[in-house]
Structure 1
Amino acid sequence: MRPEPGQVLHFSEDPTITRFVPHVAPTAKQPGAYVWAVGFDRAPDYWFPRQCPRAMAWVGPDTTEADRRWLGAPRVHAVEFAWLARIQSTTLFGYRLPAAPFRPLFDHAVVATEPVEPLGPAEPVGDLLAAHADADIELRLMTHLWGFWDRVIASTLEFSGIRLANASPRR
């Protein structure tokens, strides 16, 4: 699921939200109450159960040839085996929101500081594994994320890590 022009998306396991109200997220590292959403390029980062830790890497304009070869695909999302059953059984919904009230925050999200109503009812994303395959994103299952993550953040790849505090402990 991706937003159409003039839209951004919010993903949730709750299909009953009728109004998004700015709030301070429990994991917030910045002050301010926001409604969070993502655009087209970052929507796949959220095709997971909310609490699922994931390490994501992709080729960018400054990625070296050596790092491209190491990654082995244009974009990779890595999760731990322990999360596979949840990924397969979670029903995830996407909310289409009007893009106008949102502004960029960091390089991956957009935020609004006023309440926002969805443009329509929540839409099921469907099979989360198939969503990755359809988007040509390689999904890798790993025993632990930390070796992959450490290599990614030391590389020239672009990357994002979400809910890494929920990953199995470093060995």
Structure 2
Amino acid sequence: MRPEAGQVLHFSEDSGIRAFVPHVAATARQPEAYVWAVDHEQAPAYWFPRQCPRAMAWVRPGVTTGADRDRIIGAGCGTRVHAIEYAWLDAVRATTLYAYRLPADRFRPFGEPYPYAWVATDPVEPLGPPEPVGDLIARHAEAGIQLRILDDLWPFWDQVTAGTVGFSGIRLRNAQPRFVKCGLPRPG
């Protein structure tokens, strides 16, 4: 599920949104009210239940080393990987997610050093009814994006953020606490 030319997407578990009104998100790092959307490149980062913590990494041409590509992405395994915790797998399988197509000309790019989202400061109406995204695991497979299911996101995240790959973490505050040592039961 990707936007067509002249569109951006907003993903939601709510199929009844008639208009998107700018708001300050609870997790916002800026005080401005926005309507948030994503483009073709960033859409796969939202093929998850809203609250699902996920760590994502991708090859950056001319930047990512061969060693990091093999170690983090995997030798011969495409250019992008998304990771979630086992605890979220049932939710990923069961969640019905909808994509709202929005007019791109109402939005501007947002993010530094490169745009990772699109924002509007005025209300925006969808171009049509929301579309079910379908099987979220299948969307990853069709896009050639690895989907890793891990007991603990933190060792993967630590490798990703210390390497030369591009990366993004969404809702990591919802991830399980770090293990004292990977593979050992969580204390208490």
TM-score, reference length from structure 2: 0.90
* CA shift digits 1:102-154 (9 cap, x unpaired): 01111210000000000000000000000000000000000010000011000
Instruction: Find out whether 1:139 has 2:147 as its counterpart.
Output: yes
**SS state of the match for residue 105, structure 2?**
coil
**Where do residues 41-80 of structure 1 align in structure 2 (5 Å cutoff)?**
41-61=41-61, 62-70=63-71, 71-72=73-74, 73=77, 74-80=79-85
Instruction: Find out whether 1:15 has 2:12 as its counterpart.
Output: no
Partner of 1:104: 109
Percentage of identical aligned residues: 67
| Residue of 160, 176, 182 corresponding to 1:152 | 160
**SS state of the match for residue 106, structure 2?**
coil
Aligned residue pairs, count: 171
Distance 1:87 1:136 in 2: 18
The structural deviation recorded for 1:168 is 0.2
The structural deviation recorded for 1:30 is 1.2
Counterpart residue identity of residue 119, structure 1: L
**SS state of the match for residue 100, structure 1?**
helix
Larger displacement relative to structure 2 (70-79 or 46-55): 70-79
Structure 1 alignment gaps of length 5 or more: none
TM-score, reference length from structure 1: 0.99
* CA shift digits 1:39-82 (9 cap, x unpaired): 00000000000000000000012100100111213100000000
Instruction: Find out whether 1:84 has 2:89 as its counterpart.
Output: yes
* CA shift digits 1:144-165 (9 cap, x unpaired): 1000001100000000000000
Instruction: Find out whether 1:169 has 2:171 as its counterpart.
Output: no
Counterpart residue identity of residue 92, structure 1: L
Distance 1:157 1:123 in 2: 32
Counterpart residue identity of residue 155, structure 2: G
**Where do residues 24-35 of structure 1 align in structure 2 (5 Å cutoff)?**
24-35=24-35
Structure 2 alignment gaps of length 5 or more: 180-188
Distance 2:25 2:132 in 1: 23
